[in-house]
């Protein structure tokens, strides 16, 4: 794992419910936009497939950040996307 990646536990807050999940995320800085974009997937999670749209993502020891849930795959995982500084520590 590099500074541009996070793999591990998280909580997705959607629809008033907190869902503990395992996630895998990566980030990149977009110089034209002047900001980070980050994205990844949850491990398979049936309940999140019904909660697509805007949510909050919480990583251990970090504040909640906005995240978008979309594109469920055939195995039950859900895509996560966000903008701005990633919710894990990234080298500047």
Domain limits at 52?
Answer: 5-83
Is residue 89 included in any domain, yes or no? no
The span from the CA of 64 to the CA of 59, in Å, is: 7
Is residue 48 included in any domain, yes or no? yes
Q: Is the pTM of this model over 0.85?
A: yes
Q: How many domains does the chain have?
A: 1
Q: First CA to last CA across the chain, in angstroms?
A: 17
For 1-68, give the secondary structure using H, E and C: CCCCEEEEEEEEEECCEEEEEEEEEEEEEECCCCEEEEEEEECCCHHHHCCCEEEEEECCCCCCEEEE
Report pLDDT for 1. Answer: 47
Is residue 61 included in any domain, yes or no? yes
Is residue 66 included in any domain, yes or no? yes
Low-confidence residues of the chain, pLDDT below 70? 1-3, 90-92
Report pLDDT for 92. Answer: 55
Is residue 92 included in any domain, yes or no? no
Is residue 90 included in any domain, yes or no? no
Write the DSSP symbol of residue 75: T
């Amino acid at each position: 794992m590099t500074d541009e990646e996070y793999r591990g536990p998280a909580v997705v807050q959607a629809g008033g419910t907190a869902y503990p999940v395992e996630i895998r995320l990566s980030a990149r800085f977009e110089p034209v936009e002047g900001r980070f974009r980050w994205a990844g997937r949850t491990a398979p999670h049936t309940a999140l497939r019904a909660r697509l749209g805007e949510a909050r993502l919480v990583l251990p020891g970090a504040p909640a950040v906005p995240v978008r849930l979309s594109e469920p795959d055939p195995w039950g995982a859900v895509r996560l996307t966000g903008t701005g500084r990633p919710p894990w520590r990234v080298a500047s």
